[in-house]
């Protein structure tokens, strides 16, 4: 079937694919596991966080026996976290296809439904006396879908310090745009918390809930675990990891980020992608008023701040760390969910060309 010049393939299936929770016994064992990951091209779902050697790794059926044997030889403990990824995808698809009255924040929605919801939020907000919402398009994706931004603020004509929040930079991380959309709903007309008025009194809010609409749609139609955008640069493989494409310390120093078939391919040059360029221009055009930039990812319960490209710390790292601890302590007090807080390199892994590094290093946004 052809649609707008693209071939719609049957959805990719993940029957028998497992996710293993692996706990190496030492740093040396961890290095051996990471070498095994590179050798067999395994997909790490959760990298070893700070102070913890454990990780979650997706394993295809034909690699399972070799992986288990190798892990036994390494001396790493293993348990099966997910027995069959396809069963979870099937269950998720059934929930996604349920028809709801209104916009259900506890379900995942397609791009068209998200667009409609944002338009409805603007209509609802502008019927109120004390809230204003404005919806604009800051750019278009490779497949010419809108990259939409919604501003939520007090309807009093005053300009306040701004906070920018984006989601969905990685296509498969569905909980990211869902969380940002929930935040928007609560800020405009929420009834769960009583702090929304205070947040509007102190800040103007800019939300870009779905920065990678092409990749997101592709995860709904074809490959649930797709991560990149859907650009075609005429290279061997399609797609660029938008969160390796920002022009601060952009440097695909290893074979993975320089390889177009890698999930972390950085692109042919910095800001080669429509999506990263759109965010860049929006932030630069408003940077004098932006006090914080937050980008939502999954999964792992972490609050990360710069830098991602080096183990060196920003000069104001103590302020960043203090803010992170205030945030994570508030999250834990409200939900009982512990979060790790720290610089990206030390807390998660090294990554170059990421959006939060660029926001801090080029746009000079204090809290990123």
What value does the mean pLDDT take over residues 349-365? 95
Buried b (16+ CB within 10 A) or exposed e, 150-163: bbbbbeeeeebebb
pLDDT tens digit sequence for 99-133: 767 899 999 999 999 999 999 999 999 888 889 99
Alpha-carbon span 152 to 117, nearest angstrom:
14
Indicate the pLDDT class of residue 10, thresholds 50, 70 and 90: confident
For residue 144, pLDDT beyond 70: yes
pTM exceeds cut of 0.85: yes
- List of residues 6+ apart from 235 with CB closer than 8 A: 260, 268
Indicate the pLDDT class of residue 195, thresholds 50, 70 and 90: low
Lowest mean pLDDT: which of 163-172, 207-216, 248-257? 248-257
Alpha-carbon span 48 to 3, nearest angstrom:
41
The pLDDT assigned to 129 comes to: 81
Give the rounded percent of residues in the chain with a pLDDT score beyond 90.
78
Average pLDDT over all residues of the chain: 92
What value does the mean pLDDT take over residues 15-22? 97
Lowest mean pLDDT: which of 33-47, 63-77, 242-256, 342-356? 242-256
pLDDT tens digit sequence for 343-356: 999 998 889 999 99
Alpha-carbon span 37 to 34, nearest angstrom:
5
Instruction: Check whether the bond before 299 is cis (ω within 30° of 0).
Output: yes
For residue 95, pLDDT beyond 90: no
């Amino acid at each position: 079937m052809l649609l707008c010049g693209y071939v719609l393939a049957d959805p990719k299936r993940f029957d028998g694919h497992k996710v293993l929770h692996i706990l190496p016994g030492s740093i040396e064992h961890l290095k051996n596991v990471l070498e095994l990951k590179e050798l067999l091209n395994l997909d790490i779902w959760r990298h070893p966080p700070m102070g913890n050697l454990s990780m979650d790794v997706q394993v295809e059926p034909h690699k399972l026996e070799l992986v288990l044997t190798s892990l036994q030889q390494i001396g790493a403990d293993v348990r099966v976290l997910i027995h069959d990824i396809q069963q979870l995808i099937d269950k998720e698809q059934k929930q996604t296809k349920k028809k709801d009255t209104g916009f259900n924040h506890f379900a995942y929605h397609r791009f068209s439904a998200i667009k409609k919801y944002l338009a409805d939020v603007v209509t609802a907000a502008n019927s109120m006396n004390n809230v204003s919402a404005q919806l604009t398009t800051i750019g278009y994706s490779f497949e010419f879908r809108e990259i939409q931004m919604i501003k939520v603020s007090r309807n009093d004509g005053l300009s306040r310090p701004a906070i920018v929040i984006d989601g969905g930079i990685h296509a498969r991380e569905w909980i990211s745009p869902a969380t940002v959309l929930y935040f928007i709903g609560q800020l405009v007309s929420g009834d769960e918390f009583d702090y929304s008025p205070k947040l509007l009194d102190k800040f103007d809010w800019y939300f870009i809930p779905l920065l990678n609409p092409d990749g997101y749609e592709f995860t709904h139609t074809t490959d649930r675990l797709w991560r990149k955008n859907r650009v075609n640069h005429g290279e061997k493989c399609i797609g660029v990891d938008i969160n390796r494409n920002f022009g601060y310390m952009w440097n695909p120093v290893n074979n993975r980020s320089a390889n177009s078939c890698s999930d972390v391919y950085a692109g042919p040059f910095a800001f080669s992608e429509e999506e990263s360029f759109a965010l860049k221009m929006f932030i630069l055009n408003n940077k004098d008023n932006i006090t914080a930039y937050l980008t939502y990812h999954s999964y792992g319960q972490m609050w990360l701040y710069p830098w991602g490209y080096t183990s060196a710390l920003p000069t104001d790292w103590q302020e960043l760390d203090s803010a992170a601890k205030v945030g994570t302590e508030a999250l834990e007090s409200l939900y009982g969910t512990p979060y790790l807080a720290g610089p990206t390199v030390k807390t998660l892994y090294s990554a170059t060309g990421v959006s939060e590094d660029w926001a801090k290093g080029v746009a000079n946004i204090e809290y990123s």
